Chains A and B, each alone.
Chain A
Amino acid sequence: MHEYPITEKIVDITKKHGEKFRASKIGAITLVVGEQSGFIGESIQMYFDIIAEGTICEGAQLTIKGVKPQLKCSACGAFFVRAPLSFACPQCGGDGEPTEIGKEFYIESITIETEEEEAAGPDGEASGVAGTGNGEAGSVASPENGEVGSVAGSGGEAGGAAGTGNDEAGSVASPENGEVGSVAGGAAGTEGKRDA
């Protein structure tokens, strides 16, 4: 139930971007779903097949990249995945403070198919076309490949930051309080589905 309306949103966003590039079909969608986002990859997958039927998203391969939540030690600064019933840093025992790593919930990329004669650039300006996978406009910072970019925030704002090792990097504008939150740097790109 919880994932149904959010999966409709995923299909809507994908269609919007596909139509911008006059796609005849969406071949693949890559989602980044932090384990603390509250959404279950398997449920999204199940609803996706139903909701996408009859749209350009029908039959698209859905890849869900899970991200384990990480805390940052307030004493030594280390990032770590917490043990059950504990927030203590495994290195020094300090308190782990929450980070944005593990709260991600965004569409990373889509693969579009267009008829060759219709293939064209976007009608809008929002998306960048990833040429060789080395990170053009709009990609999230990741220490694994040094990409730099941003996630579009809901208020129409977007932030960006460079990947710097295990620091949190890349920013999302938060309309709730005007603060800038961050998108996982260190954890982005870990593939796999979360357990319920």
Chain B
Amino acid sequence: MNAPDTSAKRWDNLARNRAARLARAERLASGCIVPSEQIVQLLEAVIEPGDRVCIEGNNQKQADFLARSLIKTDPSRLRDLHLVQSVLALPEHIDLIERGQVSRIDFSFSGPQAARLARLVESRKITIGAIHTYLELFARYFVDLTPRVALIAAQAADREGNLYTGPNTEDTPAIVEATAFKGGIVIAQVNEIVDKLPRVDIPADWVDFVVRAPTPHYIEPLFTRDPAQITEIQVLMGMIAIKGLYAEYGIKRLNHGIGFDTAAIELLLPTYAADLGLKGKICTHWALNPHPTLIPAIEAGFVESVHSFGSEVGMERYTAARSDIFFTGADGSMRSNRAFCQAAGHYACDLFIGSTLQIDLQGNSSTATKGRIAGFGGAPNMGADARGRRHASPAWLRAGREGRGDIAMPRGQKLVVQIVETFREHMEPAFVERLDAWDLAATANMELPPVMIYGEDMTHIITEEGIANLLLCRTPQEREQAIRGVAGYTPVGMARDPRMVENLRDRGIIRRPEDMGIRKSDATRDLLAARSVKDLVYASGGLYDPPRQFRNW
């Protein structure tokens, strides 16, 4: 038999292409260091038309200098780019599309640019591959959306190109791993170049070029909620969550969304929950960014462990000083990792709770509104049952028993909770017959309406009217009435069948505050462990250093 002829087929095209790109860039760098004034030429040298490009950024840190530099490149040379990145949050991301340099995008979140993006999609200036969750997009980096060029952000580099990403490590490891090990090019913007890094987060041989940005990369303090803005209704809903859910199921491992509703829960732990004797019994292990509003609970000894997606501006000294709680390196500073924390939130947590804008009668919830393509971020990974989960916990087993009834094979379920006031500001109802997501999908030619949490994953809804336990509903009609039954005086709530709702209440599917022994009039802000940002600073022993916009001192 003849040996197969392999001479015609080359197997190192990526490596040779990479070498050609590096050769074009050689004159621009000394070692791996590129002067900031050469950055536009560097980008033009290493990026080719049609490349998949990832500009690092999340809702926290941003490779903003590299994004600004990319829109200075020659559009006739750098064109047909395919952006594959977590967020389209900077104006420059959208500018690139408007300049005609980008033809396709795959992303997760575009909150700040949602309206501009929707206009571009409607005028067919851009094709969206898909809107992913963060974990889903990272997964595709390793399958069919591997970046050719990654533009990343780090706190510091040494002269060899080792990077320190520190508390805001975030997405960097996932992006660099996929790019560097598939023949791609990695360019890092850093705030400073130093002789010795505190620790190495990304090794130098995964990084091709380092540029010192003229200004430090931007970080948004997205997870700071000023306790002064928490309302009595949010306190009431927090009491309902703690007494009616966390205590009932014995929730120890959990993730909280961003928002004042969940901030209220965090601030009620050292007061209301402690008075209920729940310390050590609930909320011990978290997949959570270092929320400043968690400080009082940590100081009260409620919390044993917190792993974080990213960091939070001003929490650096506090997290470093609480290394028993947070994941910290040998140098003492925290390390976050979005991919791992998303996995932790999906598989290792018994409960996710977050807020939303709209919930329909099947329990689907969405933050999509007409004329805005905002995407998902990471919430759907937290807010979904982990079908692959194989380890048990009391909370998970109880939810499984409630949801699956008496089936032969024991199996648990994650608790996925939405916490909303029945009316948002301007008397916008949070409960609707039909999600705006349908209209958005139609106008933006999306294959799927952008649903944040599917009804089949949602287990409980908390409003100021009480809790609806959707696990216990046995028919679609019961489910609908359970949702109407906590929808208050919204049109959806007013259209309830009062007899059926009372029946659901008798069966414990709907529980009112009084059914749980919660007196509404006890819901005052005096229950909050901190009522201002300054209270948080005092609670931290002066370690928390809030950003300027949150200070009044």
Binding between chains A and B = no
| Interface, chain B (partner A; CB < 8 A) | none
